[in-house]
Structure 1
Amino acid sequence: MLIKKLSEAGFKSEYAYIGAFASIGLSLATYFSSRAKKGDDKAQSDRWGIFIGHWAPTFMALGVALKLEEES
């Protein structure tokens, strides 16, 4: 039901795929920027990189579901 509503609202599978690849890039950028930090903030930055990295599979799954909705 939710996927159908998103599709009807104009949200395309390509948008979800773009979000997935953007989150991968953002995750890498966050991780590498945390490597340059000194002190206690480094661990927190690493956790942010991991957190953002978990978005990619969610966006990919959403993209696949939307693609299936578009084809039906």
Structure 2
Amino acid sequence: MLDKLAYISTGLGITSIAASVAAWYTEKSEDAEENAHAERSGIFIGLWPQTFFALAIVLFKLKELGHDKDVKRLLKKLDKKVKEVES
């Protein structure tokens, strides 16, 4: 479970790099104000990859340390609670 989340987080990091570049270049025009907005959008999206990659590292480390069993146990408890609320 943790490894799947880590791979998803890594994929989101790579995707946000591409999204940052795309936002920067697709929003550019001849208007200086629009160019400034494109740069700010690209920089804002460019701040996301570090967070996703750090999260992936933490999740891989938790998996390595054997905490995957804890996650499965917590998910079972959560499923029980959801079923109690639904009924």
TM-score strictly above 0.5: yes
Unaligned runs of 5+ in 1: 1-6
Letter of the structure 2 residue corresponding to residue 38 of structure 1: E
Q: For 1:38 and 1:32, locate their aligned partners in 2 and report how far apart those are by CA, in whole Å.
A: 12
Unaligned runs of 5+ in 2: 66-87
Between Structure 1 and Structure 2, which shows a larger proportion of helix residues? 2
* Matching of residues 22-61 of structure 1 within 5 Å: 22-35=15-28, 37-39=29-31, 40-61=33-54
Dislocated runs of 4+, deviation >4 Å: none
Higher relative contact order (CA 8 A, sep 6+): 1
* TM-score, normalised by the number of residues in structure 1: 0.79
Aligned to 1:64: 57
Report the secondary structure of 1:68's partner residue. helix
> Per-residue CA shift, 1:38-68, capped at 9, x if unaligned?
2121101111000100100010000000000
* TM-score, normalised by the number of residues in structure 2: 0.66
Aligned to 2:70: none
